Amino acid sequence: MDRRGFFKKLRWFFYALFGAVLALPALSFVTYRKKRTRTVVFTVSEQTDHYFKQGVFLIREGEAFSALSAKCTHLGCTVRFDQHKKQFVCPCHQSVYDAVGKRVAGPARDDLQVLPVTLRENRDIEVVVEV
Amino acid sequence: MKKAFFIFCVVLTGMLIVLEHQRFRPDQPVSEGCMGCHAGASDPDKSHPVAAFGCFSCHLGNPYSLDKDRAHAGMVLNPGDLSVAAQGCGQEKCHPGIVSRVKNSIMATNKGILNTLYYHWITNGKEAASPVDVQALLAVDTRANLAEDHFVKLCASCHFWRERTPGQGEFAERGGGCSGCHVVKRGEKTTEDLSKFTHSELSTRIPSHNCVRCHNRSARAGLSYEGKYESEGYGTPFEHGQPNSRGLSGRRFYLDLPPDVHHARSEMACIDCHTHLELMGDGKRYEYLEEQRDVICKDCHEPRFVEVRQGDETAERLPRLNSVVPPLEGAKVAYSQKGAPLYNLRQGGHGAALYLKLTGKAVSMNISTEKKAYHALPGHERLSCQSCHSPYVPQCYGCHVTYHKGEFQKDKLLGLETPGRWREGRSYMRFETPILGLANEQTISPYSPCQVFVSVFDKDLSYNDGESFAISAMSPFDPHTTQNASRTCLDCHGDPKALGLGQGLLSATKDGLLFCPTYDSVASNFGQDFAPESFASVNGTALHTASRHERRPFNAKELKAILGVTPCLSCHDTYEDPIYRDFKKSLERLRGGLARACGVSFVYP
Amino acid sequence: MRYNRGSKRFLQQTQKVMAKFFNKTSLYLPRLSLAALIICLVSGVVLAFQYRPFGNVFQNVEEITTLVPYGFFFRRLHYASGEVFAILVLLHVADYFFRSAYKRQSFFDWFQLGLGAALCFFILFTGFILQGGLEGYFAGTILRNLLELIPFVGSAASHMVIGRGHAFYFLPYLYHCCFLPLGLVFLLRKHIRDWLPDWGSMTVATMMLFIYALAVPMPKALPPGAETSFITGPWFFLGVQELLRHFSPLWAGLFLPALFAALFLSLPALSGVWARVARYTLLTGAGVYAVLSVKLYFF
């Protein structure tokens, strides 16, 4: 490359840079996503072990409650709970998690997300999920 | 040009990026835009927490915007203001029903004041004659006659439709619809940080201060109740050579008099007696105050305790909303004559108790069902409690009112100065013994004068004889100066003022009664031939008018009957005295010589 | 006389300068307006990534305006460029109307161009509805009810333009983003090629609109549930709004505007007396419309 060629490439480089600066606001705008949450309420009759509602599994151990997200950590399909094997299985690519959401087998790498659980005065349980 | 285009684009984009980063965005996602700035506002009260309600549900505006100007578009600062209350406090899921009641109530319509003005000034004796109320007057900008002009310039600061204005002082704090009563403490910005300001405090425990803001004029009920006597503007005793600090609005000062016993002994507030049906209205449009008034002395002093009526959730709800008065828990509750539960007066296992609504403190009530002689005397059936238990009434004599057509004055409803200026000056104000008369055929009540001498001046300052007039009227009301001890027998039976004749010498001659007033109005060129405090003449003709047809002074027959007792009182001075069991018969016995010798030499015919 | 000759020359010179100015204006007006259109299209595409024409549209628009990064800018840019485009089109049409350009064009060409100009304003009108505030909601409702008044085809026409219930904004959205712009480009296909903006016009338009979008805030909007005693539609329909206050909807909302449009579009087909009648009727009509608009807005 000679000097002229270098400066031509440099000019185009700066055009690209300027273009990026111009595009920045547009890209920022277009890619913004409002953080939204959904509250799933489990009434007393729904507070059985591994109860599924609106994308959340309620886990009950005696009187202790916890919640797991039903979204598979691989590519997002909704897992189902196998009552006999006591495991979560994802129908899409067969990722497997144990009864408390720990990853056991399959292409998924992370455990199922644990969700915060709140007990209300009227004995309802509320779980907040990010949408 | 192409180069210039790109350069401009880049420079302006740089500016854009800078501007974007200067814009406000909250750190956490917020439930509504308002919370982006105002999350730290204090709660108006326990039932209206900011975290649950947000701001939009009451104050409207734009709840989705994070930008201040856009968010505040359409916002309402006072959601209790009657013009917006239906979307504010009175919206469907909050307090529906109450707003329409309040709009029809007499403190919103001021119908009583307007009717009385029309009665005396326009229709010459027709009751309920005002075609307008406050709302109707707000809708137009012309005043049909002097009565309406007088009202809007001198009276129309005290009504529920009045918008609350920022600023200090009584005039600024009046009005505000729901907020006028229910805001017990005004909010303020504590720091420049908008996220931490103190919201106005709401409460159902309304302090008397909120009432006295308006009720310190006219009948001065609020002042008398607290033992304040509006003096003649001297502001004495001086403090450091200046008028003292015991001041009222409008450059008035006050002195001390014994307060009402309910205030002095039991520390009761206005709402401890006055029920929600009479304060917020019961939905009906009344023409006069006495029609809307609910509570009477008997409701508490001769209470009818009943089990809480089936389905009456108000009786259970009200103590809960009050939150300092204990819950009912099965106690029996007294009811007002209109059916409002007096939830603070109840009969439980340990007798009757009155709970103060502001503090929850219990005041023991000595209610005995046994009818005492002094309350059961034959002949005294029509006496209201106030007639004996109010030792004095504020009385304002000789109000000289001038109206200058060429000057301007603020129309309090329009908020603008309009032609015509009123000035008022009283001849004198007294806190004296009451004049008694009949409020209606079943009730005797204390009366107070309202004498208005209106002088109208044209634009060239010439006196307009045709439009000027004088009204000498008397009006009955509860002066709120109740004392435990009642007045003595002679205070009424021996006092011509109490009988409505006026201050002076009353003699019984063989030709009849003779009254010589202390004030010789004819010689003083007063313009009328009776004294200012004379409600009636000795033969019972009314010298002053009253603003209802059923209101009148004692007539000749009644005067005769009352004064017939007077000579006996010097010896027969107890209620239990047997002559009073059937006084007519006792008089017959006396005349027939059957009674024991009595020092009285003659009984006038 | 020398005085007369001098003043005659002054008049001639003024006329020359004015002619030059107007000629220049005639040249640049349409180029600027197309530049504005391009900016409007680009900003509209950007906005389309965040705008949703269903659910709580007002909330969505407010969030774009105050929450989404740079949302305020793109919204203002889209709004301003759209308004500028329509105003310049109006001036451009008026310019050529005064020059009786219709005399030199075929009826078919003039018809397409005129229809295209009308389409501009309907693009703006659907945009006005899509803002989601009370003004837009009422504007859409009024349009729906006006369309229903058309004899025989009214109900069908209104169903094709405004949705019912939750789908209220969806059809105007399709019109605003797709059908009307495509229609516009089709009708003006030859015209666009003639008046494609040069870099100078593009720079001026971009610069002015960019500065506007940085400096001037969007007009405040009323939430759909708000109460108000007086509300106005878009500025170009103020005259119709004023007519609708006094005359029956069929006449004020449909018949008179349709008559005006028909007269305008048929100009090339008229000749002689009829042409002059049509011309003066149109001018008077436009004048009256302007007066009515001013009256409604200010009084």
What pLDDT, on the 0 to 100 scale, is given for residue B204?
Answer: 93
DSSP state of B488: P
C-alpha distance from B127 to closest chain C C-alpha (Å): 37
Q: Which residues contact B568 (CB under 8 A, 6 or more apart)?
A: B579, B598, B600
For chain B, say whether C231 makes contact (Cβ under 8 Å): no
In a domain, C252, yes or no: yes
Structural domain range at position A13: 1-32
Tell me what pLDDT residue B509 has. 82
Q: Are residues A22 and A41 in the same domain?
A: no
CB contact B52 to A (< 8 Å): no
Q: Which residues are CB-contacts of B152 (< 8 A; sequence separation ≥ 6)?
A: B137, B143, B411, B412, B413, B414
Q: Is C202 on the interface with B (CB under 8 A)?
A: yes
Helix, strand, coil abundance in chain C, percent, nearest 5: 80, 0, 20
Shortest CA gap A32–chain C (Å) = 6
Q: For residue C188, tell me if it sits in a domain.
A: no
Same domain, A106 and A93: yes
Residue B270 to residue B597: CA distance in whole angstroms: 52
Residues of B in contact with A11 (CB under 8 A): none
Sign of CA dihedral B288, B289, B292, B294: negative
The whole-angstrom separation of Cα C222 and Cα B71 is 10
Smallest CA–CA separation between C60 and chain B, in Å?
8
Of B6, B17, B29, the CB nearest to A25: B17
| pLDDT computed for residue B316 by the predictor | 84
In this complex, do B17 and A24 lie within 8 Å of one another by their Cβ atoms? yes
Closest approach of C65 to chain B, Cα-based (Å): 8
Q: Is-contact C17 C25, C-beta < 8 A? A: no
The chains in contact with chain B, meaning 3 or more Cβ pairs closer than 8 Å, are A, C
Q: Check residue C4 and give its pLDDT.
A: 66
- What are the φ and ψ backbone dihedral angles of B13, each rounded to 5 degrees? -65, -40
Rg of the Cα trace of chain B?
30
Which residues of A are less than 8 Å from C71 in CB distance? 29, 32
Identity of the residue in B12, B19, B66 whose CB atom sits nearest the CB atom of C66? B66
The separation between CA B198 and the C-alpha centre of its own chain, rounded to angstroms, equals: 30
Question: pLDDT above 90 covers what percent of chain A?
Answer: 32
DSSP string, C54-95: SSSHHHHHHHHHHTSTTHHHHHHHHHHHHHHHHHHHHHHHHH
Secondary structure class of B188 (helix, strand, coil): strand
User: Is the CB of A21 inside 8 Å of chain C's CB atoms?
Assistant: no
Chain B residues within 8 A of A37 when measuring between CB atoms: 29
Q: Which residue carries 């006092």 as its tokens?
A: B495
CB contact under 8 A, C70 and A29: yes
Q: Any idea what the CATH number is for the domain that residue A77 is in?
A: 2.102.10.10
Question: Largest Cα–Cα distance in chain B?
Answer: 132
Residues A53 and A111 in one domain: yes
DSSP secondary structure of B497-543: TTTTS-SEEEEEETTEEEEEESS-TTTTT-SSSS-TT--B-TT--BS
Kindly tell me the burial class for residue C215, based on how many C-beta atoms sit within 10 Å of its own C-beta (0-12, 13-18, 19 or more): exposed
- C153-162 pLDDT, tens digit per residue, is 999 999 999 9
- By the CB < 8 Å criterion, does B100 face chain C? no
Question: Does A30 contact C46 at a Cβ distance shorter than 8 Å?
Answer: yes
What is the C-alpha separation between B477 and B522, in angstroms, rounded?
30
Chains A, B: CB contacts within 8 A come to 20
CA B381 to CA B383: how far, in whole Å? 6
Give A37→chain B minimum CA distance, Å. 10
Neighbours of chain C (3+ CB pairs under 8 A): A, B
Phi (first) and psi of residue B18, to 5 degrees: -65, -50
Distance, CA of B201 to CA of B183 (rounded, Å): 6
Given this model, what pLDDT does residue B601 score? Answer: 58
Q: Give Cα A47 distance to the centre of its chain.
A: 23
Top pLDDT among B527 and C71 is at C71
Q: Is ipTM beyond 0.85?
A: no
Specify whether A108 is located in the same domain as A61.
yes
* Contact state of C65 with B1 under an 8 Å Cβ cutoff: no
Cβ contact, residue pair B14, A18, below 8 Å: no
Shortest distance between the Cα of B16 and any Cα of chain A, in A, equals 8
Q: Amino acid identity, residue B590? A: L
Residue C94 within any structural domain of the chain: no
Nearest to C170 by CA among C139, C132, C142: C132
Position B597 scores a pLDDT of 67
Residues of chain A neighbouring C46 (CB-CB closer than 8 A)? 26, 29-30
Which residues contact residue A25 at a Cβ distance below 8 angstroms, ignoring those fewer than 6 apart? B13, B16, B17, B20, C69, C70, C73, C74
Residue C228 within any structural domain of the chain? no
- Give which of B10, B12, B15 to mutate to test A binding, by max A Cβ within 10 Å: B10
B539 touches A: beta carbon within 8 Å: no
The pair of structure tokens assigned to C170 is: 């969806």
Q: Are residues A1 and A21 in the same domain?
A: yes
Chain C residues whose beta carbon lies within 8 Å of the beta carbon of residue A29:
46, 49-50, 68-71, 74
Torsion angle, alpha carbons of C74, C75, C77, C82, to 10 = 130
What per-residue confidence (pLDDT) applies to C19?
76
Residue A62 sits in the same domain as residue A3? no
Find how far residue C121's CA is from the centre of its chain. 3
Supply the pLDDT for residue C129.
95
User: Is the Cβ pair A25, B29 closer than 8 Å?
Assistant: no
Q: Who contacts B118 (Cβ-Cβ below 8 Å, separation ≥6)?
A: B126, B129, B130, B147
- As given in the structure block, the two tokens for residue B488 are 């003595």
Quick one: pLDDT at residue B250? 82
Query: Residues A85, A28: one domain?
Result: no
CA distance C200 to chain B (A): 6
pLDDT confidence of residue B309: 66
* Chains in touch with A (≥3 Cβ pairs < 8 A): B, C
Rounded Cα gap, residues A79 and A66, in angstroms: 17
Cβ–Cβ < 8 Å for B86, B92: no
Domain check: are A27 and A56 in the same one? no
Q: Which of C69, C203, C210 sits opposite B4 (nearest CB)?
A: C203
Number of domains in chain A: 2
- Say whether residue B14 is in contact with chain A using an 8 A CB cutoff: yes
Please answer yes or no on whether C49 and A34 come within 8 Å at the CB atom.
no
Tell me how many domains chain C contains. 1
- Classify the phi-psi angles of B451: left when phi > 0, otherwise alpha if psi is within -120 to 50, otherwise beta: beta
Percent of chain C with pLDDT over 90: 54
Minimum CA–CA partner of C56 in chain B: B64
The whole-number average pLDDT for the span A80-86 is 89
Whether residue B6 and residue A34 make contact (CB cut-off 8 A), yes or no, is no
Beta bridge partners of B75: B60
For chain C, give the mean pLDDT. Answer: 89
Which residues lie closer than 8 Å to B187 by C-beta, 6 or more apart? B42, B197, B198, B199, B200, B201
Cα separation, B34 vs C223, whole angstroms: 14
pLDDT of A69 > 80? The answer is yes
Q: Residue B475's CB: how many other CB atoms inside 10 A?
A: 21
C115 assigned to some structural domain: no
The residue of chain A nearest to residue C66, with distances taken between CA atoms, is A29
Q: B93 — contact with chain C (CB < 8 Å)?
A: no
Which secondary structure element, helix H or strand E, spans residue B479, and what is its range?
Answer: none
Higher pLDDT, C193 or B312: C193
CB of C59 within 8 Å of a chain B CB? The answer is yes
For residue B366, the model assigns a pLDDT of 75
Which chain C positions have a beta carbon within 8 Å of B66's beta carbon? 66-67
Does the beta-carbon distance from B12 to C211 stay under 8 Å?
yes
Residues spanned by the domain of C238: 234-299
Splitting chain B (605 residues) into consecutive groups of 10 residues, what average pLDDT does each group show? Answer: 77 89 83 86 90 91 90 91 92 90 95 95 90 93 94 94 85 91 86 78 94 92 93 83 86 90 94 94 93 92 81 80 86 87 84 90 80 88 94 91 95 93 89 92 94 94 93 93 93 93 89 88 84 90 91 92 89 89 86 72 54
C25-50 pLDDT tens trace = 778 888 999 999 999 999 999 999 99
Kindly state whether residues A48 and A112 are assigned to the same domain: yes
pLDDT at B454: 95
What percent of the residues of chain B are helix, what percent strand, and what percent coil, each to the nearest 5? Answer: 25, 20, 50
Rounded to whole angstroms, how far apart are CA atoms B262 and B478?
14
Residues of A with CB under 8 A from a CB of B: 15, 18, 21-22, 24-25, 34-37
Distance of CA B138 to the CA centre of its chain: 22
Determine, yes or no, domain membership for C36: no
Contact residues for B495 (Cβ-Cβ < 8 A; gap 6+): B433
Q: How large a percentage of chain C has pLDDT more than 70? A: 98
pLDDT of B599: 64
For chain C, what is the total number of helices (H) and then of strands (E)? Answer: 14, 0
Give the closest-approach CA distance of B385 to chain A in angstroms. Answer: 52
pLDDT level of residue A1 (50, 70, 90 thresholds):
low
Query: Distance from B35 to chain C by nearest Cα, in Å?
Result: 13
Q: Indicate yes or no: CB of C62 within 8 angstroms of CB of B5.
A: no
- B17 touching A (Cβ < 8 Å): yes
Whether the bond into B237 is cis, omega within 30 of 0: yes
DSSP, res B256: E
Q: How confident is the model at residue C102 (pLDDT cuts 50, 70, 90)?
A: confident
Cβ(B81)–Cβ(B176) below 8 Å: yes
Query: Are both A113 and A59 inside the same structural domain?
Result: yes
Q: Which DSSP state fits B354?
A: E
Do A47 and A105 have their domain in common? yes
Chain A residues near residue B20 by CB distance under 8 angstroms: 25
Residue B259: per-residue pLDDT = 95
